[in-house]
Amino acid sequence: MFPKGTKRKFSDSGEDPVCSGVQGPSASSAAARTLSSSYSLQRQSLLDMSLIKLQLCHMLVEPNLCRSVLIANTVRQIQEEMTQDGTWQIMTQALAAAQCPADRLVATEVLCRQTDAAAQAGQSPKPFSVSDLEEGYHSEEVVMDGDVETEVTMSSLSPVSPQLSSASYLAGPFGVAPCWEEEEEEGDCEEDEEEDSEECVSEGEEGEQDHLRADSRTGEQVFGTFEIKHPAPPPDPALEELFSDVDPSYYDLDTVLTGMQSTPKMGPYDLLESLSSHGPTALSSTSSCRSDLNELDHIMEIIVGS
């Protein structure tokens, strides 16, 4: 396997990072500088994979709760680590930069859903993307609960037409919105950081500098642009605080499972429609998700890379 000295998060030493073909350096190009790029890529692809799994498993009418919880916990771990080493902010900046052709970008709602939004949407809560049905958004909302005043709703922009082509989620940078609470796992995260090679530590600092250098407004822009419900964008330094206050707004499984899904059979197909421009297809749409991701990566590369 591996020599004892190296502490890797992924133990697939001889294997290509899974889904690496899907997720190019694109949005994480900045982040890649902060950590060994292979680790960062692997972590990113794991995040993407997990998000796909969560989405797909919620297309089943009755999701396997155990599996969902385990995948969700994995996503949270990744997100926490990314927040710790500053990759998260870099990602959001990259997203902001690529924000302009905004109709192409969709934030992923994985586990965050605001029940108010659902109520407003007038739709019965679906496991995954409430905003799917919300006024023709074909986006997946990432909503952070918590303080109502500082509510931020990230979704595709209002002017987006219902036919959001290739409205696949931008799995990478936005992965799971930072709506997980940063809990006691700080200890673990610190440990993880220590375990990273020295190279990573120094690069981490560099990354942070990048972050600080970046206009704090960019962060505002990100959320400001995304914010539909509340006009005042939160200040950037407070963003992390904002995130830490937020409840991990896990979709209301109980609601789903106890029958608040009034249109379950149609729901998954609607979601699929939002994921790929191919219209309703069979439930196993991993390949269409991937092709959409490829397409999106391509776009991101053009936007961010240039």
Partner 1 sequence: SKTQPHRRGEYNVYSTFQSHEPEFDYLKSLEIEEKINKIKWLPQQNAAYFLLSTNDKTVKLWKISERDKRPEGYNLKDEDGRFRDPSTITTLRVPVLQPMDLMVEATARRVFSNAHTYHINSISVNSDLQTFISTDDLRVNLWNLEITDRSFNIVDIKPANMEELTEVITSAEFHPQQCHTFAYTSSKGCIRLCDMRQAALCDKHCKYFEEPEDPSTRSFFSEIISSISDVKFSHNGRYLMTRDYLTVKVWDLQMENKPLETYQVHDYLRGKLCSLYENDCIFDKFECVWNGSDSVIMTGSYNNFFRMFDRNTKRDVTLEASRENSKPRAILKPRKVCVGGKRRKDEISVDSLDFSKKILHTTWHPHENIIAVAATNNLYIFQDKVN
- Sites of contact with partner 1 (CB under 8 A): 1-2, 4, 7-15, 17-19, 42-43, 46, 49, 53, 61-62, 64-67, 69-70, 72-74, 77-78, 111, 145, 188, 191-192, 247-255, 257-259, 261-262, 264-265
Residue 113 contacts residue 124 (beta carbons within 8 Å)? no
CA distance 186 to 118: 32
Give the other-Cβ count within 10 Å of 241's Cβ. Answer: 14
Task: CB nearer to partner 1: give 31 or 72.
Answer: 72
Residue 81: name the closest of 209, 154, 176 by CA. 176
Task: CB nearer to partner 1: give 102 or 253.
Answer: 253
Instruction: Give min distance, CB of 21 to partner 1, in A.
Output: 13
Give phi and psi for 144, each to the nearest 5. Answer: -110, 125
Instruction: Give min distance, CB of 235 to partner 1, in A.
Output: 26
Task: CB nearer to partner 1: give 72 or 130.
Answer: 72
Task: CB nearer to partner 1: give 188 or 205.
Answer: 188
Instruction: Give min distance, CB of 300 to partner 1, in A.
Output: 23
Task: CB nearer to partner 1: give 105 or 289.
Answer: 289
Residue 146: name the closest of 122, 114, 103, 172 by CA. 114
Instruction: Give min distance, CB of 252 to partner 1, in A.
Output: 5
Instruction: Give min distance, CB of 224 to partner 1, in A.
Output: 25
Instruction: Give min distance, CB of 258 to partner 1, in A.
Output: 6
Task: CB nearer to partner 1: give 12 or 199.
Answer: 12
Q: Is the dihedral of CA 216, 219, 223, 225 positive or negative?
A: positive
Task: CB nearer to partner 1: give 70 or 232.
Answer: 70
Instruction: Give min distance, CB of 129 to partner 1, in A.
Output: 16
